[in-house]
Amino acid sequence: MRIDHLETITLRFEYADGFRYAGGQCTARVTSLVLVHTDSGQVGIGAAYSHPGLVHLIVQEQLAPLLVGEDPTEVESLWQKMYRITRWYGRKGAAMTAIGAIDTACWDLRGKSLGQPVWELLGGQRLTCPAYASALLWKEPAALAEEASKLIERGFRRVKMRLGYGGDRDRASVRAVRDAIGPNCDVMCDGSMRYSLEDAASLGEFLAEQNVFWFEEPFEPEDIDSYVALSSRVTPPLAAGENEFGLQGFRELIRAGALDIVQPDVSRCGGITEAKRVADLALTAGLRVAPHTWSDAVAVTANAHLVASLPHGITVEVDQTGNPFIEELLVEPLVVHDGLLSLSNAPGLGIELNPATLQRYRLEDPLHLPDGSYSDMIFGKSFL
Asked if 317 interacts with Mg ion (CB under 5 A), we say no
| Shortest reach from residue 217's CB to Mg ion, in Å | 5
Nearer to Mg ion, 190 or 296 (CB): 190
Number of residues that bind Mg ion (CB under 5 A): 1
| Shortest reach from residue 259's CB to Mg ion, in Å | 13
Nearer to Mg ion, 147 or 190 (CB): 190
Nearer to Mg ion, 19 or 127 (CB): 19
Q: Is the dihedral of CA 169, 172, 174, 180 positive or negative?
A: negative
Asked if 319 interacts with Mg ion (CB under 5 A), we say no
Closest residue by beta carbon to Mg ion: 190
Q: Kindly identify the residues of this chain, within the stretch 195-254, that bind Mg ion according to CB under 5 A.
A: none
Nearer to Mg ion, 186 or 190 (CB): 190
Asked if 190 interacts with Mg ion (CB under 5 A), we say yes
Of the ranges 189-197, 268-276, 321-329, 334-342, which one interacts with Mg ion (CB under 5 A)?
189-197
Of the ranges 39-47, 88-96, 188-196, 341-349, which one interacts with Mg ion (CB under 5 A)?
188-196
Nearer to Mg ion, 78 or 174 (CB): 174
Nearer to Mg ion, 241 or 350 (CB): 241
Of the ranges 121-129, 149-157, 186-194, 328-336, which one interacts with Mg ion (CB under 5 A)?
186-194
Interface contacts to Mg ion, rule CB under 5 A: 190
